[in-house]
Structures are given as C-alpha cells and as structure tokens.
Amino acid sequence: MIKIQLISSKNLDALNLSAFDQKQIEAHDFTAKSGQQLNLINETGEIHTVLFGFSEGDSIWNAAEVTKRLPHGTYQFVTTLTGDDLFLLHLVWHLGIYKFDRYKTQVSQQLHLVDVEGVDSSKLQLVIRSINWVRDLVNTPAEDMGPAEMQLSIEQLAKTCGATIQVITGEDCLSEGFPLTHAVGRASDRAPRVVELQWGKVGDKKVTLVGKGVCFDTGGLDIKTAAGMRQMKKDMSGAAHALALGNLIMGLELPIDLRVIVPIVDNNVGSRSYRPGDVFISRNGKSIEIGNTDAEGRLILADALTAACERSPDLLIDFATLTGNRALGSVVSCFSKDVSLTQSLQKHGESVSDPVWSMPLVDEYVDLFKSDIADLVNIANTPVDTGTVAAAAFLSEFVSKDTTWVHCDLLGYNVKPFPGKPKGAEAMSLRAWLSFIEAWLKEN
C-alpha cells in the first residue's frame, strides 16, 4: 500500500526520509508548495510514498488533483485532518477519479483508496454512490435514458431500498390528475409518465421530494438552437437529484416518511406537440396559457407540487434545471418563503463544502405571469431576464400556503473540470441537504 502524505513547506524538513528519497526531492526541486506532487520511488523503481503540497488554508478539494498523477495501485492518506475534513478528503478522492466510460472501448487504470481510521466508511460509500449515480444518469445520452429507462432506475432503487412505487403512464396522466405532464410529453413516442416512490414509517416526519424529469428538451415548437439543445440530455438532472437524495435518506435509514414524485417526459416536436397559445387546466384547477413551449419544466412540476401538497408534507423540496440557473450558475439557488430555512441550508452547505445560496421568493413576481385569457401564462412578461427568481414565483402558485417548501434551481453540470469535479454531469447540494435534514430531524 502506497502512502500519500499531505505536506506543507513548513514541515517538509521534518520528514524522516532516506538519503535516496532526499536526492529525489532535490533533483525535482520539490518544495511542497500548494499542489506540487512528487512520487517517491525506491531503488527498484516502485512508488512507495507520494508527497503532495498542501498548505494551511488550501481547499481540501485541491487534494483530488493527486489522483491525476498516480499509476494503478492501492493508496492511503497520511494526514492530520480529522472529523468532517477527513471525511471530505476521502470523498474528493473518489469524486475525482470518476469517469463516465460506458461508451469507451478502453477502461482507464484503477486507483484504490484504503480509508484512514476514523472515517465512516459505510456512509462514505453511500454518499459516493449517490453522487456518482446522479452523474451517470445525467451523462447518459437521451437515447439510452428516456422515460422508460428512468422509470426502470426508480424501480431498481425501490427494490434495493424496500420502497414501493406507483406509475402513471400515457393517457392515464389525464385521468389521474397530471394534465400538464401529459401535454408536454404527448408529442413523443416515448410516453410521458409520473413515478411516485414511497418509503418509511407512518408517523415520522413527512418529507416529499419532487424532481424535473425532462429526458430531452428540444424546446418543443419554440425549438432551441443547435447549441442550446446540445446538452439537453441533462434536463432530467432535477429528477436525478431527488432520487439520489432519497437514496441517501433511505440508505441511512433516517426516521422519515419519504415520498418522491418524478414527472418524466420528452419535450419533442411532432404532430401532437402542445402549442403556444394553448390553454390547459392544471391539477389545482388554475388555467395556464402556453406562452412558450420551452418553459416546459415549470409545467410538469406544477402538477407534481400540487400532488405533493395534498398529503401535507412537513418539508417539500423540488429540484430542477429550470432556467439553467441563470442566477448563480454552478451554485444551487434555493428559494423559500421561509428565509431562515434557506439561510440555514446555506450554512450547512458551507460546513460540508457543498455550496447553495439562499435566494428571495418574491410574491410580486407572480404578476409577471398574468394572462389575458387564462389565470396564468407560463412565461414571464418582462423585458428583463429575471428567469430564475420569476420561475420560482410561478411555481409558488401550485404550493399550498401552509407547506414548508424549497425550490432548488440547479445547473447540474460542470462546464469545465474542477478538482474533484470532472467536466460533465454533477450532483449539487445533495450533501448540503443531507446535513440540513439530519439537523432538522433532531430539532423537530
């Protein structure tokens, strides 16, 4: 087993190194500055220790960079980090070596890490699996991750965790109270559906998660540009996040009466496409005029949120790539009428290095959605791009006033690689929410 030692320039001289190792340090001019790495070899040419420059104040995420310059093998950290920092150190290693190689003909080399004593290995592995599951779901092309495949993923989750599911498919969405999901998805030959997962014990705190499951978004008749459509396989990222958070709750056996609702569609162009100017009656009875068919996510969420409120959850959370998070990009925007809740969530995000941001839910913005012929129109009437906060205001019309609700608008994607965060699909806010929910259960 090869040791990885996080070392700063201040304590480099304190290392008990052989003369052969010391010569390597001198030959490579290794000074242990932040991010500098040296793989020390023995006299037969085998790596025995990895030195990685890590100074006081460095982000633990930077340590993920060590994995890029290691050969196949088994490693273990040598570090003075403890508690949450030690957990994060192990987590960033695993997140950094993630590769979406389903379609690759050559599999990359494997790196293995042995946990340091004091790490909760079972929780670590659950968090890793949940985050990488989000990445896998979102990275998979829409051809192989359509409504049926997403349903299958939920069925597999339910089987693994001992949950039950209910599926409403195709025309049944009309009779079962999901008319907006049907409208958005009806043009596709892959039928729209709503999948609901239930787990837990009656009498525990009721938490409901809702996730936007648009498997591919062409924009509908208000079709996107080629560039705008390029990454629209990720438009089901909200659903992936809801399922992964559910997996964390169930995997840790938290005392929660859990419900996960996922409306799943393709937003396609076809002879049955819904049209600008059409009016549909939502589950809660409000009429909605279609101002733009590319504002489809808020439509399928509207009925799902209404359905979620019918069972009076103690906490309702929805996840969606609703606006590409034009407000904050790679930091999740979290909206709620209970500002203290989102501020607490933001602090939990800071504590576990999984940033979210508390954002205002402005009631007056609902007026931007007034329609001449219906109760609401699905696109804001404003010359200024207030998409993220306005979309949250639209959704608020489908949440009962006495429900504690948080809307999470996320990007779900790294546009370029960062330490521990490869380019492509990314799970955002899961660990922040887990930390918040664990504390919320103790307080309530």
Burial of 10: CB neighbours in 10 Å, binned 0-12, 13-18, 19+: exposed
Q: Are 43 and 49 in contact (CB under 8 A)?
A: no
Cα–Cα distances (Å) from 134 to 106, 137, 234, 426, in that order, read 23, 5, 10, 7
- Answer yes or no: 283 catalytic: no
Q: Which of 135, 298, 421, 431 is catalytic?
A: 298
Side by side, the strands of the sheet bearing 47-53 are: 37-41, 47-53, 2-7, 73-78, 111-113
Q: Which two tokens stand for residue 167?
A: 């599926």
Burial of 328: CB neighbours in 10 Å, binned 0-12, 13-18, 19+: middle
Contacts for 181 with CB less than 8 Å, ≥ 6 apart = 173, 192, 193, 194, 263, 265, 299, 300, 303, 304
How many angstroms separate the most distant Cα atoms in the chain? Answer: 84
- Closest listed residue to residue 50, CA positions, set 65, 58, 60, 383: 65
CA end-to-end distance (rounded Å), the chain: 45
- Answer yes or no: 224 catalytic: yes
Residue owning tokens 């309530």? 444
Q: What is the CA radius of gyration of the chain?
A: 24
| Phi, psi for residue 120 in degrees, rounded to 5 | -80, 90
Q: Which of 224, 286, 326, 337 is catalytic?
A: 224
Residue 4: beta bridge partners?
50, 77
Which residues are catalytically annotated? Answer: 224, 298
